[in-house]
Structure 1
Amino acid sequence: MDGNRLQARPWLPGVELFHADFSGQPFGRHSHDAFAVGAILQGVGGYQCRGGRHALPAGTLSLMNPEEPHTGHAVSPRLVYRMLYVEESRLPALLGRKQLPRGFLELNPADDGSVAAGLARLAVEFERGDALALESELLEVLERVFVLHGGLRAAALSPRDGGMTAFLRDYLEENFAEAVSLDQLASLVHRHPRHLIEAFRRVYGVPPHTYLLQRRVREAKRLLLGDQSPLDVALALGFYDQAHFSSTFKRFTGVTPGHFRRVART
């Protein structure tokens, strides 16, 4: 059980992400007061639920509704999975829908890889604590899994913009070094976060948190050409730590900040 981790943030109530890595540890019959969205990453899991026994190999999702009793155990010598828990009362605010999901009918559908990948990105953002990125990844995972498996109708996007996306872009350009949350952006334009993300993506090709990272990398290049070290630049631009800065810089440029600084200054 030493490989298990439970991630949560105080400013994101009712949402937890559990990373399980264990063998031989059974879970007795229990339930959760939340929707559970899990992805089996390695091995085979098993449980009893809805009057039947179920085996979940890697590549399978584990989907449960609130207060649904079940057991749990590892069928294989080692079992690794991620499980997102979201309290039912939080869904209206998170999804921004009048029509809410009816719940999961199928317990363990196959995953095309998108939900597991979304949970992996979510785990990274839980560690970093970047509110804008974490909330954006959470909404994307919830929207995808409830549309695919929870009876939620895909959102119809309004073509109206009214200058909202341009306003948000200008705001991000001016406040790129600040900690920005999705709720903060939504309050500026009086839109639900989900509508905001999709409208911004439609116009600029990327969601707001990606645009913000791109802007920080652009500024980082300018600062690295001066006398500031990569660590100083990382702290000045609001990155979680130097490793986060380095991985983000390489993601958009193909090289590390140190490499860019050395080559550019020779």
Structure 2
Amino acid sequence: MDANRLLVQPWLSGVELFQADFSGQPFGRHSHDAFAIGAILQGVGGYQCQGARHALPAGTLSLMNPQEPHTGHAESPRLVYHMLYVEEARLPTLLGRKRLPRGFHQLNPADDGAVAAELARLAVEFERSDALALESQLLTLLELVFVRHGGMRPLPTAPRDGGSTARLRDYLEAHYREAVNLEHLATLSERHPRHLIEAFRRVYGVPPHTYLLQRRIREAKRLLLGEVELAELALQLGFYDQAHFCGTFKRFTGVTPGRFRAAART
């Protein structure tokens, strides 16, 4: 049975994540108006491109430039992969650069575990509506894949702080219940998003989206001493749903919100 999913976020235009899980479904010759960044998770995928036939075993990346005609199919009984599509016109804004790479040098570089791991993390964030976490992870992935496989130069080290990270921290402390996005934070701090994340991590030990989650969990501990239902509490604190809240709470504290509440009342 096919279980394909196409995920989008309305506030993140020009970016899609295709989660493929199928057997036997072929994709005829086509092209995309976007860069495609994929990783094979299970099985063997295959495609024809530039007059050659390619097989992609698990652990292989699949990189495709815009307007590159190709086909697609499974060469195994089951094929599972993630494929990120990013429209070319969106890259200057997402990467904050005027000069961008022309395209990927090689379409299927094998066994790049670092890129595959970042894509897997991005797939997790796509399930939620946490703009700051998703955009931060997207930037990390795009920087990595275009530096490694697109010839893009790494950004220089972030300039000295000048107090901008403290102002950013104060903003996160005051607006932790809201949907915060990376572009807005970059505007507030007058920094490139990558420099913003790097400088914040250098001063506070974690990136802004992690700091924001920690702030929400700190407030959650206070609210759990009361009678607020978990589902309502999750929405009050800006989480996608109760499951997102409970998973994040346990990740930072080691226990579920229910157990924390029970222990606080004993």
After TM superposition, the score normalised by the length of structure 1 is 0.96
Give ranges in structure 2 of 5+ residues lacking alignment: none
Question: After the TM superposition, which of the residue ranges 28-37 and 113-122 deviates more from structure 2?
Answer: 113-122
Q: CA deviation at 1:244?
A: 0.4
Partners of 1:201 and 1:218 in 2: CA distance = 19
1:83 aligns to what? Answer: 83
Partners of 1:4 and 1:100 in 2: CA distance = 31
2:3 aligns to what? Answer: 3
Partners of 1:202 and 1:111 in 2: CA distance = 30
Partners of 1:51 and 1:201 in 2: CA distance = 46
Partners of 2:161 and 2:22 in 1: CA distance = 49
Partners of 1:237 and 1:244 in 2: CA distance = 11
| Counterpart residue identity of residue 257, structure 1 | P
Tell me whether 1:130 sits opposite 2:133 in the alignment: no
1:38 aligns to what? Answer: 38
Give ranges in structure 1 of 5+ residues lacking alignment: none
Q: CA deviation at 1:239?
A: 0.9
Q: Deviations over 1:83-129 (max 9, x none)?
A: 00111111111111233113111111123433223222222322212
Which secondary structure does the structure 2 equivalent of 1:24 belong to? Answer: coil
Question: After the TM superposition, which of the residue ranges 188-197 and 31-40 deviates more from structure 2?
Answer: 188-197
Which secondary structure does the structure 2 equivalent of 1:92 belong to? Answer: helix
| Counterpart residue identity of residue 21, structure 2 | D
Q: CA deviation at 1:45?
A: 0.3
- How does 1:133-172 map onto structure 2 within 5 Å? 133-172=133-172
Partners of 1:14 and 1:114 in 2: CA distance = 24
- How does 1:1-266 map onto structure 2 within 5 Å? 2-266=2-266
RMSD: 1.4
Return closer, same or farther for 1:166/1:128 CA change in 2, 3 Å cut-off. Answer: same
Which secondary structure does the structure 2 equivalent of 1:128 belong to? Answer: coil
Work out the number of aligned pairs and report it: 266
Partners of 1:207 and 1:99 in 2: CA distance = 26
| Counterpart residue identity of residue 220, structure 2 | A
Q: Deviations over 1:9-31 (max 9, x none)?
A: 22211111101111111111111
| Counterpart residue identity of residue 234, structure 1 | A
Partners of 2:19 and 2:232 in 1: CA distance = 33
Partners of 1:114 and 1:83 in 2: CA distance = 15
| Counterpart residue identity of residue 256, structure 1 | T
| Counterpart residue identity of residue 207, structure 1 | P
